[in-house]
Structure 1
Amino acid sequence: MPLDPQIQALLDKGTGVPATHTLPVDVARAQYEARIALMAPPAAVADVCERMIDGPGGPLRLRIYKPLGAGPFPLLVFFHGSGFVLCSLDTHDGMCRNLCAGAACVVVSVDYRLAPEHKFPAGIEDCLHAVRWAAAHASELGADPTRVAVAGDSAGGNMAAVAALRLRDEGGPALCAQLLLYPVTDYHTPGTPSYEENAEGYGLSRDTMKWFWEHYLSDPAQGAHPHASPLRARDLAGLPSALVITAEYDPLRDEGELYAQKLRAGGVRTALSRYDGVNHGFMFWVGVVDKAGVAMKETCAWLRGALAAPHHS
């Protein structure tokens, strides 16, 4: 379908802004932080606090969101996106508040180490450590350690998928759900048809994805490793149930949908929703873009169902 007029209006606002892959990393980071001012006010939550824990590479910052009502609540560990290189707890603060309120869960947002300062697999090591810490400390967070999920958007969706794989293979804790919002699941080469169709003009471009991967990996050969490209994992059996959200005008659309198909083929209960007329990252714009609100409602309803009852796998 044609590009959603509300998305077109946002793209028009960005006309003349230099493409991410043409910028030094610090300038690109500042450009992404500047988006926060354009976002709509998020949903109300009961409490937000931060914790510093000992991480694999030094102190690791977590931001913890608690919903209104009485716990213990399900626990959602969230990894922000933006190519393993950009964004922060602040850029994704609104998204975490909306997930916390909408799904009535405690959200732990992870300030994992970014590339290029910290190459693969530093970020994923932080994410894995944070899930284990959050599950072990669930009761003090007002959460239920038997109802734990991981979530992320874009590169954060990659982190969530890889965390689920590694927790399955490396001693848990058991997850009951993984939420993958337009995830990165594969290296950019050879790429998919959506990489060609949506190479430029819709925000995230093919060239920017290449730039992200160049910063993230020490060597292109690492792109074949399933902890970098979960679509290349041999076996997806035994993973937690999944919701994969994709966007029509997104270079990453096909790899997200291929991952959903591969999860289903591995016997994993998987829901896939493609949102037509929208681009990569559209769920930032709840309250600005109508379809973002629809997708957030779907996401929160799915999470409530997936996390409804104590789960023992």
Structure 2
Amino acid sequence: MTDAVRSQRGITYRSVDGIDLELDLHVPTGAEAPPLAIYFHGGGFEVGTRSDYEETRALALAARGIAVATVGYRLAAAAPFPAPLEDARAAAAWLRAHGAEYGVATERIGSVGASAGGYLAAMLALEVDGAPPVVDAAVPWFGPLDLAFMTGGTPLELELFDPAESFLGAAYDPRRPEHVGLNPIANVTRGASPFLLLTGDRDRVIDAAVSERFHTALTLAGVPSTLVTVGGAGHEDPAIDAPEYADLIAGFLRSRLGGAA
């Protein structure tokens, strides 16, 4: 797989508070200006690196003709939320401005992310505070897409890890405008970019119902949305990294961003 992909690592896309934030760019060889997707790792905004699941996600998509930028962003120990979202937007802007220098198409770009990264991927594809979407297509995997409806796990499991509270710093409160502004489902409008949602029906961290509710909201708003529920799959389940889902994601991104099959 890696023979068909050219990887350039450690590219600085932003410097903030004395921290150099980097991305790795994986480009299919032999493809002229392939479409570009940005991948954001998971980890609850507390752990994780841009190289997580690189072989089965970033390189798998690159081998299918999609250039992938895997992005490092600030975690909770370095900066409070919404720092990761600010970094995600900065990475998209940097790639729009500089991606062509690395041989990738930048007129239309997509976002992909798992768990916390799925949140970032989704937010980039929504109209927020009247601003248009930052990306042209999004593929969130089992992300916290409705902060008011996090039903995964037992009450004890949610007490140990509430995906919303872990980065808001408090339980989600719809009376607080800053919370509403950070809730993906509350920012669904007709102007959102198309979505492909993946989740597992055995997810004990972020219930599949969260993706289902988000898909329904997109559909009611008139936004193209496809929901894929993987039977028997839990959170960050290797089943979702199966080749058939990589094929599906690559096909979706190609159809929305352009590029030859």
What TM-score comes out, normalization by structure 2 length?
Answer: 0.85
Which of residues 251, 262, 277 is equivalent to 2:217?
A: 262
Name whichever of 51-60 and 128-137 sits farther off: 51-60
Matches within 5 A, 1:141-290: 141-165=102-126, 169-170=130-131, 173=134, 175-187=135-147, 191-192=150-151, 195=152, 198-199=153-154, 205-210=157-162, 212-221=163-172, 225-233=179-187, 235-251=188-204, 252=206, 253-282=208-237, 285=238, 289=239
How much does 1:172 deviate? 5.6
**Contact 1:153/1:183 (<8 A) preserved:** yes
State the AA in 2 paired with 1:257: E
**In the TM superposition, what are the counterparts of 1:35-74 in structure 2 within 5 Å?**
44-57=4-17, 58-74=19-35
For residue 60 of structure 1, report the CA deviation from its aligned partner.
1.2
* Residue of structure 1 equivalent to 2:101: 140
Cα displacement (A) at 1:240: 1.0
How many pairs are equivalent? 253
Q: Which entry has the higher C-alpha Rg, 1 or 2?
A: 1
Residue 92 (structure 1) aligns with: 53
Q: In structure 2, do the counterparts of structure 1 residues 300 and 134 end up closer, same or farther at CA, with 3 Å as the change threshold?
A: same
SS of equivalent residue, structure 1 residue 138: helix
* Offset at residue 276 of structure 1 (A): 0.7
Amino acid at match of 2:170: D
Question: RMSD across aligned C-alpha pairs, in angstroms?
Answer: 2.8
Secondary structure in 1 matching 2:35 = strand
Is the alpha carbon distance of 1:271 and 1:214 closer, same or farther for their aligned partners in structure 2, counting shifts above 3 Å?
closer
Structure 2 counterpart of 1:295, from 241, 245, 254: 245
The answer to whether the 8 Å contact 2:14/2:91 transfers is no
Aligned counterparts of 2:3 and 2:232: Cα–Cα separation in 1:
25
Q: Give, as a single letter, the amino acid of the residue that structure 1 aligns with 2:106.
A: P
Alignment gaps of 5+ in structure 1 = 1-40
Is the contact made by 1:177 and 1:240 (CA closer than 8 Å) also made in structure 2? yes
Label 1:115 to 1:290 Cα distance change in 2 as closer, same or farther (>3 A). closer
Write out per-residue CA displacement over residues 257-297 of structure 1, whole angstroms, 9 at most, x where no aligned residue.
11111111111111111111111112xx3xxx487332222
Structure 2: which 5+ residue stretches go unaligned? none
CA contact (8 A) 2:36 2:104 kept: yes
Q: What is the alpha-carbon distance in structure 2 between the residues aligned to residue 172 and residue 231 of structure 1?
A: 14
Q: CA deviation at 1:117?
A: 3.5
- 2:150 touches 2:164 (CA, 8 Å); kept in 1? no
Q: Distance in 1 between matches of 2:68 and 2:243?
A: 19
2:219, 2:77 → 1: CA distance? 34
TM-score of the aligned structures, taking structure 1 as reference length: 0.72
Report the CA distance between 1:47 and its aligned residue: 2.6
Question: Per the alignment, in what secondary structure is the counterpart of residue 49 of structure 1?
Answer: strand
- Farther off after superposition, 55-64 or 72-81: 55-64
Which amino acid counterpart does residue 255 of structure 2 have in structure 1?
Answer: G
Question: Aligned residue for 1:123?
Answer: 84
Which one is further off, 221-230 or 158-167?
221-230
